[in-house]
Amino acid sequence: MPLNPAVKLKVAGTGLVGEAGIFTALDKGYFNAEGLDVDLNIIAQASDILPQLIGSQIEFGAVASDAALFNAAARDIPVKIVGYTAVIAPYGTSAGFVVRQDLIDSGRWKDVKDFKGMLFAANGARGGQTDVYTEKLGAMGGWGLDDIRQTVVPFAQMPAAFANKAVDAAYVVEPFVSVMEKQHTATNVVPVGKVYPGLPAQTLAVSPGFAKAQPEATQRFVTAWLRGQRDVWHAFVKKDTPPDEEYTILQNHTPVKDTNLLARMATFTVDPNGEMDLKEVQFEADSFLKYGTLKQKVDASTMVDPSYAKKAVDVLGSA
């Protein structure tokens, strides 16, 4: 039986394709079936979501596993990750490292080793998640972060930066990769799936205040979300159901309306049982500590609560 009266709660995301499980649970009535009245808030700046979770302004949020999240754990702020919304797959093409087209045409860039000495555009300041990706890339080509130069350019401004030849390379997400490739100003030469398969690109976290005050509603939210994740898994990972319904749901909640582009973006993976491998999350935490953006070592296992997903599987059955 659904909760009665229904529990109202706010959920925040950034409108990314990787939030498809949340969108699906909302559009297909899975939250309503649990007695949850969910208000979805799209927040442009991902960095604004975590403070609102901590302050109990929102109940759930899709957040990146970045330095801010680890620093909250280091300060014993009990924001818990209850699942991974999207995990980078080996075949992932939703983002990648691009190189300016004229540098490819001239032969300046031929292989991963040729990134050395280039000026990279980064969406955020040094010591963030982009540096983790870039350092992984460098390990493939025999260079490190000290062997490149970096400047901050928001994703939305990167097409102009490449058109103006202001930067040489960058880690870029869709749809901006496709914009630059259509303009013939840059090419995705190393898709993210080749660099960092297995990394949770985004996580689902719960407000500590809500989890404490509303444990039943918290559990029901995760159960409904996992139902949505399974639909995503069937459509995009297992591919045993047509993806059309998922494309429509993504068109409802993201700025991307081109189905061909959505097919390129929906190349992440999800776990239909909500299981969370902590290896790559721990690697990120250790990287942030090395960069100095994390002030003390954090045990990734203290940041997650797998109990909700396990109880959801008890209800839904194992996929």
The pLDDT of residue 291: 96
The pLDDT of residue 3: 92
- 154 and 81 in a common domain: no
Cα distance between residue 268 and residue 21, in whole Å: 12
The pLDDT of residue 44: 80
Q: What CATH number should be reported for the domain holding residue 284?
A: 3.40.190.10
The pLDDT of residue 258: 95
Strand partners, 9: 38
Q: Is residue 130, in this structure, part of any structural domain at all?
A: yes
Specify the number of domains making up the chain. Answer: 2
Strand ranges across the sheet with 95-100: 149-152, 119-122, 169-173, 95-100, 186-191
The pLDDT of residue 10: 98
Among candidate residues 195, 221, 256, the one where a domain is terminated: 195
The pLDDT of residue 65: 86
Q: Which of 98, 168, 131 is nearest to 283 (CA)?
A: 131
Q: Is residue 47, in this structure, part of any structural domain at all?
A: yes
Non-local (6+) Cβ contacts of 94 within 8 A are 17, 18, 173, 174, 192, 201, 264, 265, 266, 267, 268
- 210 and 277 in a common domain: yes
Mode of pairing for the β-strands spanning 7-13 and 60-63: parallel
User: How many alpha carbons fall within 13 Å on the CB side of residue 265?
Assistant: 26
* Three-state secondary-structure class, residue 184: coil
Q: Is residue 2, in this structure, part of any structural domain at all?
A: no
Our measurement of the distance from residue 186's CA atom to the centroid of its chain's CA atoms, rounded to an integer in Å, reads 23
Cα distance between residue 17 and residue 92, in whole Å: 13
The pLDDT of residue 214: 97
Strand partners, 42: 13
pLDDT in tens, the chain (319 residues): 999 999 999 999 999 899 999 999 999 999 999 999 999 999 988 889 999 999 999 999 999 888 999 999 989 988 999 999 999 999 999 999 999 999 999 999 999 999 999 999 999 889 999 999 999 999 999 999 999 999 999 999 999 999 999 999 999 999 999 999 999 999 999 999 999 999 999 999 999 999 999 999 999 999 999 999 999 999 999 999 999 999 999 999 999 999 999 999 999 999 999 999 999 999 999 999 999 999 999 999 999 999 999 999 999 999 9
- 145 and 23 in a common domain: no
Cα distance between residue 24 and residue 27, in whole Å: 5
Cα distance between residue 78 and residue 72, in whole Å: 8
- 208 and 171 in a common domain: no
Q: Locate all alpha helices (DSSP H) within the chain, ordered by sequence.
A: 20-27, 30-33, 49-54, 67-74, 101-105, 129-141, 158-163, 176-183, 192-195, 208-213, 215-232, 244-253, 259-265, 279-291, 307-316
- 285 and 224 in a common domain: yes
The pLDDT of residue 125: 87
Q: Are 68 and 50 in contact (CB under 8 A)?
A: yes
Domain that holds residue 107: 95-195
Q: Is residue 302, in this structure, part of any structural domain at all?
A: yes
